[in-house]
Amino acid sequence: MASRTIRIGLIGYGVVGQGIVQLLSDNAATIEGRLGAPIEIRRVVARSPDKVREIEPPEGTLSFDPDDVLNDPDIDIVVEVVGGIEPAKSFVQKAIESGKHVVTANKALLAEHSELIEFAESKGVDLYFEAAVAGGIPIIRLLREAFSSDRIIALRGIVNGTSNYILSRMTVAGLEFEEALREAQEKGFAEADPTLDIGGGDAAHKLTILTTLAYGARLTPDRIPTTGIEDVTAVDIHFANRFGYVIKPLAVARALDGGKLDLRVHPALVRRGSVLASISGALNAVYVEGAMLGPCLTSGLGAGALPTAMSVVSDIVDVGRNLLVGAHGRVPSRAFQGEHLKDMEVQDPGDHRCHWYLRFTVRDRPGILARIAGVLGASTVSIEQMVQEGIGQDDGPVVVVMLTHTSLERNLMGALEEIATLDDVVEPPMALRIEED
Ligand code: HSE
4-42 pLDDT, tens digit per residue, is 999 999 999 999 999 999 999 999 999 999 999 999 999
The predicted structure's pLDDT at residue 393:
63
300 CB near ligand 1 (under 6 Å): no
The DSSP bridge pattern shows strands 127-128 and 283-290 to be unpaired
pLDDT band at 395 (very low <50, low <70, confident <90, very high): low
Asked if pLDDT for residue 1 goes beyond 90, the answer is no
46 in Cβ contact with 332 (< 8 Å): no
pLDDT band at 62 (very low <50, low <70, confident <90, very high): very high
The predicted structure's pLDDT at residue 345:
97
Q: Could you tell me the CATH superfamily of domain 350-434? A: ACT domain (3.30.70.260)
Contacts of 200 (CB under 8 A, 6+ apart): 160, 163, 226, 227, 228, 229, 249, 265, 266
List pLDDT tens digits, range 187-206.
Answer: 877 777 789 999 999 999 99
301 CB near ligand 1 (under 6 Å): no
Give the integer Cα–Cα distance in Å for 80 and 131: 11
The predicted structure's pLDDT at residue 337:
94
List pLDDT tens digits, range 279-320.
Answer: 999 999 999 999 999 999 999 999 889 999 999 999 999 999
Ligand 1 pocket, mutate which of 109, 202, 265 (most atoms under 8 A from CB): 202
Give the integer Cα–Cα distance in Å for 128 and 149: 21
List pLDDT tens digits, range 155-171.
Answer: 999 999 999 999 999 99
pLDDT band at 209 (very low <50, low <70, confident <90, very high): very high
Q: Which numbered atom of ligand 1 lies nearest the CA of 105?
A: 8
206 CB near ligand 1 (under 6 Å): no
Cα-based distances in Å from 166 to 159, 244, 302, 434: 13, 19, 14, 19
Question: What percent of the chain stands above pLDDT 70?
Answer: 98
CATH architecture of 6-135+305-334: 3-Layer(aba) Sandwich (3.40)
What Rg do the C-alpha atoms of the chain give, in angstroms?
24
350 in Cβ contact with 225 (< 8 Å): no
The predicted structure's pLDDT at residue 298:
98
Question: Which of these CATH numbers, 3.40.190.10, 3.40.50.920, 3.40.50.300, 3.30.360.10, describes 139-301?
Answer: 3.30.360.10
Q: Helices 305-325 and 28-35, interaxial angle, to 10°?
A: 30
Residues in the chain: 437
**Which amino acid makes up residue 223?**
R
- Please pick, among 206, 248, 260, 342, the residue that the annotation labels catalytic: 206
Ligand 1 pocket, mutate which of 191, 280, 283 (most atoms under 8 A from CB): 191
pLDDT band at 172 (very low <50, low <70, confident <90, very high): very high
Ligand 1 pocket, mutate which of 197, 279, 311 (most atoms under 8 A from CB): 197
106 CB near ligand 1 (under 6 Å): no
Asked if pLDDT for residue 396 goes beyond 90, the answer is no
Asked if pLDDT for residue 392 goes beyond 60, the answer is no
Distance of CA 295 to the CA centre of its chain: 19
303 CB near ligand 1 (under 6 Å): yes
Cβ neighbours, 10 Å, residue 405: 12
161 CB near ligand 1 (under 6 Å): yes
190 CB near ligand 1 (under 6 Å): yes
Q: Helices 15-26 and 28-35, interaxial angle, to 10°?
A: 80
Backbone angles phi, psi at 13, to 5 degrees: -130, 50
Cis amide bond preceding 87, omega within 30? yes
The predicted structure's pLDDT at residue 159:
98
List pLDDT tens digits, range 240-249.
Answer: 999 999 999 9
Show me where the domains of the chain are located.
6-135+305-334, 139-301, 350-434
Average of per-residue pLDDT across 62-82? 98
For the chain, give the mean pLDDT. 95
Give the integer Cα–Cα distance in Å for 317 and 303: 20
The predicted structure's pLDDT at residue 190:
77
Contacts of 257 (CB under 8 A, 6+ apart): none
Question: What percent of the chain stands above pLDDT 90?
Answer: 91
Give the integer Cα–Cα distance in Å for 46 and 65: 8
List pLDDT tens digits, range 336-384.
Answer: 999 999 999 999 999 999 999 999 999 988 899 999 999 999 999 999 9
Query: What secondary structure, in 3-state letters, does the chain show?
Result: CCCCCEEEEEECCCHHHHHHHHHHHHCHHHHHHHHCCCEEEEEEECCCCCCCCCCCCCCCCEECCCHHHHCCCCCCEEEECCCCCCCHHHHHHHHHHCCCEEEECCHHHHHHCCHHHHHHHHHCCCEECHHHCCCCCCHHHHHHHHCCCCCEEEEEEECCHHHHHHHHHHHHCCCCHHHHHHHHHHCCCCCCCCHHHHCCHHHHHHHHHHHHHHHCEECCHHHCCECCCCCCCHHHHHHHHHCCEEEEEEEEEEECCCCCEEEEEEEEEEECCCCHHHCCCCEEEEEEEECCCEEEEEEEECCCHHHHHHHHHHHHHHHHHHHHHCCCCCCCCCCCCHHHCEECCECCHHHCEEEEEEEEEEECCCCHHHHHHHHHHHCCCCEEEEEEECCCHHHCEEEEEEEECCEEHHHHHHHHHHHHCCCCECCCCEEEEECCC
Tell me the CA–centroid distance for residue 378 and ligand 1, in Å.
42
The predicted structure's pLDDT at residue 382:
97
User: 206 an active-site residue?
Assistant: yes
